[in-house]
Structure 1
C-alpha cells in the first residue's frame, strides 16, 4: 500500500504539490480561526441553579429548598445525575448533562422545569440559573487603584457603572463583583421600646416598605399641554426613614426613630478580599461564556476597560491582577519558536551531512505543513489551542524532524546508489 502511494505521488508530482498547497492554506486559515486558551476545559457539561434564602441555616436550606429542587430536576432528558449543596442562606444545584448535549438546550430545559416547581418552595424564594460559563471561565481579574476613596464608594462604582459596561462585551457571561461594602440602610429595633408602644417587628417592616414606593396618577391636559401626575415616595436618607409613622397612639404618631436606630452601613460580610497583603481591595471577575475564544474575549474586555476608565472618578484606575492572555501568548510563542528552531536545525544537519539543498527543502516544507494539518484537525474536533494541545504539537515536531531526517537520508542514499549503478 505504501509503495503504491509513493509510486502514485512520484508520477503525479503536480497533483501532490497542489494538494499540499491547499492543505497548507486551509491550515493557515484554521490557525487564525482556532479558539485560543491557556487551560483546557475539562469541566463537566453542567447547569447550575442558585437559590438564595438569607438568614436560614444549612439544614433548613437542605430540607425546604435543595431537596425539593433536586427531586424535581431529576428525570430531565440527557441528564447523567443531579447534585445538591446547601450552606448558610444559599443552595446550589448542579445538573450534569451528557458531554455531547448543547449547553443552551440544557439550560432551556432546566428553566422549563423550574417554572413548575415554584409551589414546592417557601414564599419569596426564587431559584435562578447560574452564568453560562465553565469552571475555567475566569479569564481576567481586576481591582481598583483609588487612593482616598472608601471601599463603599468603590463598590458602588463597580456595581452600578463598571459591571454593566463590561457585561456588554461580546463573549462575557458575567462580571462578578468582590470586596468592599454594599451600602444599605440598617434599622436596629429596640425590643423594650416595641413592648412599650405595643408594636411588633413585622409592623415596623411593613411601615418602612409601604413608605418606599412610587404611585402613578392620571394624565390631564391644560392649555393644550399634557401633564402626568405621579407621586415620588422613594426613601433617600436615614432621616426620612426615621420620620416614618408606624402607628398612632392617642393621636400622636409613633415614628421609626421612637423604637429603632437608623444608620447607613454596609451589608454583613462573610469574608474580605486582600491584595498582596496591602489591605482590602474592590474589583471584579470576568467570566467567559461557554465555547468562546479566550484570547478575543480578553482583548475586547481590555478595550472596553480603556473606554470605561474615561468615566471613572478622578484618580481611580484599573489594576489587572490576573490576565490569562499572558499564558496564552507564551504557549503560542513556545510552539512558534520550537517550530522555527527545529526547522533550522534539521535543515542545517541534512545540508551539512548530505550537501543537498533539495533534501533540506523537503524538511522545511514538511514541518509547517504537518503543523497546519494538525490545526485543521483541532478545528474539526472543536479543540482549542491550549497548553495540552500545543504541547502535543511541540512534541510531535521532534518526532517529525527525526522521521524527516531518517527518510530523507535513506531516500538520498538509495537514489545515490541507483545513480551510481546506472553510471557504471
Structure 2
C-alpha cells in the first residue's frame, strides 16, 4: 500500500487493511493460484520421493522384509532394496500421472484446472502420501512388470531432456546471431565459444589422463576418442557454408557430449574403474556422500528445467501469448515428472533390478554406462537434425 493511502484520513481502518492485504506479498505469492510457486512445490515433492526411495534402498531393507508379499522377490540377495525403489517410483509416477490427466490442455489462468494445479495443497499432499504407501500392498509380480515399463519411461525422459538441452542451445545461438543482437553479443559469443571449446578439450585430456592412462584400457580409450571425433564432426558441420551456425552452438554441444562421456565412464562399476584416483576417492566417505547429493540435486533440477520447457516440443506455431495464458504447459510439466519418477528408479538401481547397489551410490553399473554412451551418440544425431 502506498504512503499516500496510509496517510489519507478519509480511508477507514477496514478499507486500509483490505488494501494492505491486496498489495501484500503474501496475497500475491502465497494466496490464490500461483503457478510459479506451484512448480517449486512439485519439485520438492519429487525430491522427497527420490530421497525416500534412496532411504528404503539403503536402510529400509529390514522394514520391507516385514511384508510377506515382498519375500517372493527374485534375483540377487538384496533385491528387496531395488523393489522398494520401484514401489516408491511407482507411487511417484501415479501421483504425477494423475496430475497430468487432470491438468492437460489447460491454457488460460481462469480455467478451474489452473486452480487445481496451483492450489489445493493439503489435498494433494495427502494424495501424494497415499501414493507413497499404496504401492507397498501391490503384488510383486506387478511391480516387476512396472520395473520393465520403467526402462521405457526413463529412456523417454532422457530423450525429452536431450531435445530440451539442444533446443536451448539452438535458441541461444539464434538469439545471439539475430540481426538485433549480433553486434551487441559479438564479444560475449566469442568468449563463450572459446571457453566451451577449451573446457571440452580440457575435459577430454583429463579423461585420457584419469581413465585411460595405459593402452590396455581400450574401452575407455574408445569412448573418449569417439567423443573427440564427435566434437570435431559437430564443429565441421556447423561451420559449413550452407549452415553457418558459427562456433557457439557446436561448442556448447561439444561440452554437453563431453559431460555425457564423463558421466558414462564414472558410471562404470568401481571394481572395473581403471583410474587410481577414482578408486582412492571411492574410499573417502565424505566424497562419496557429496557426489551422491550433487547427483540427486542435479537429477531434480534436470527434471524441473525440462518440465517447464514445453515450447520446444510444439510442432506448429501458436498464436501470440496473452496475459491470461498459463506460463508453461501444466500437462507436459506433470508428464515429465511422471517419467522422471521412472528415471530416478533406474538411477538408484543402476538400470538393473537384480543388481546389488552399494550405499550412497547412484547410477553405477555397466548398464548405466551404456545408457549414457548411447545417449551421447543420440545427442549428436539429434543435434545434426536440428
Bigger relative CO (Cα 8 Å, ≥ 6 apart): 2
With the length of structure 2 as denominator, give the TM-score of the two structures: 0.22
Select the structure that is richer in helix: 2
Select the structure that is richer in strand: 1
With the length of structure 1 as denominator, give the TM-score of the two structures: 0.21
Larger Rg: 1
